Copies of this chain bind each other. A is one copy, B any other.
Amino acid sequence: MATINDVAKMAGVSKGTVSSVFSKKRPISTEVTERVLAVAKELSYFPNHIARSLAIKKTMIVGLKIPISREHAMSGFEVQLINGVIRECSKRGYRVLLDTLPEHDDPIHFAVDPVDGVIMLNPRTQDPRIDRYKLMQTPLVLIGRPDPMDETVCYIDNDNVKIGNQVGQYLLENGHTSILFLNASSDMTVAADRKRGLYVAFESSGKVMHYSRKQHGNPTHYGYVSLKNSYSNHDYTAIIADTDRVALGALQATRELGIVIPEQLSIVALSDDPVLAQETSPKLTSVELSAELLGSEAAKLLLKKIKNIGIVQQKVIDAKLILRESCKMYV
């Protein structure tokens, strides 16, 4: 690969000049410009992004830290979210470095990446990475709230307490008396928040709430097995599934069990791929988390923070319960 030096020599100019004809940061006479361009073409010279980044300390790349399980495909939620950040970034000329590598807790392996800022999905409790980004002064925005809460960090989140509460309310108002909550795994703040919201709704109702947490593994399988194993011993009137894929598994179990939805059992999913939810039969009642919006708002905020490192801001994205066909109204 030819370097800026090669073309400078062959064109008989300084590398500063070559640099300028490519960057247009200072005016160069047309004759020199043409000569340089001709030589560049002849030598197949292309500017080196890395060297440039090192010099100007900016890459026009945004890092997206998103833990994707090795075994399963991305969920609809993740896909939409990625979509949101890509779209927003691409609008402003940024590209996205997808980082799904398992995190080293060892700070020695923490390097400052070739990015101008990072978006981090689902920070863990006490996530050490948050402090590290602070130390390296890398602009950071979380999707999902930091735990413990820290108002000096930027984040975008749903109000998951509210979501849990709302779904609980809805079910109660429609006469449900016994529900099964198939929650996310317990290390996620969303799981805790939704559970809390739901509890508040049920607290004084006297109704029964069964509870289960996802351990690991295939979400569809989780939904399937949970229902299959426990339905006969309980009289659920409704089940709340952590995601649409969990709901899909549950749906399958109901078919095999001969349970008819929503007459004998209602299902609501908490995270929803709008196109999938409309194609299931019955169509899935679900709460729309607006994953795409979470993503694009996170990107917007990050890009703002990259321009102006000082700002700290949080934003909660509204979620709404979309009534479709999988829930029975008892009243």
Candidates B48, B87, B98, B280; contact of A86 at CB < 8 Å:
B98
Please, which residues of chain B bring their CB within 8 A of the CB of A44? 135-136
Please, which residues of chain B bring their CB within 8 A of the CB of A80? 73
Query: Is A151 interfacial (CB-CB < 8 Å)?
Result: no
Assembled-state Cα–Cα distance A108/B114 (Å): 22
Stretch of A50-58, A221-229, A233-241, A310-318 that contacts chain B: A50-58
Please, which residues of chain B bring their CB within 8 A of the CB of A1? 112, 136-137
- 8 nearest A-B residue pairs (beta carbon): A44-B135, A96-B98, A47-B111, A279-B279, A49-B111, A279-B280, A50-B114, A46-B112
Candidates B47, B83, B101; contact of A95 at CB < 8 Å:
B101
Chain B's nearest CB lies how many Å from the CB of A212?
A: 23
Q: A108-B22, A136-B44 are in contact. Are A97 and B61 (CB under 8 A)?
A: yes
Interfacial residues of chain A within 71-120, with CB under 8 A of chain B in the complex = 73-74, 79-80, 82-83, 86-87, 90-91, 93, 95-101, 107-108, 110-114
Binding site for B on A (CB under 8 A): 1, 22, 37, 41, 44, 46-54, 59, 61, 68, 70, 73-74, 79-80, 82-83, 86-87, 90-91, 93, 95-101, 107-108, 110-114, 132, 135-137, 248, 275-276, 279-281, 292
**Are A136 and B248 touching (Cβ within 8 A)?**
no
Assembled-state Cα–Cα distance A280/B22 (Å): 52
Chain B's nearest CB lies how many Å from the CB of A274?
A: 10
Please, which residues of chain B bring their CB within 8 A of the CB of A112? 1, 46-50
Please, which residues of chain B bring their CB within 8 A of the CB of A96? 97-98
Chain B's nearest CB lies how many Å from the CB of A255?
A: 12
**Are A87 and B114 touching (Cβ within 8 A)?**
no
Assembled-state Cα–Cα distance A280/B46 (Å): 49
**Are B276 and A114 touching (Cβ within 8 A)?**
no
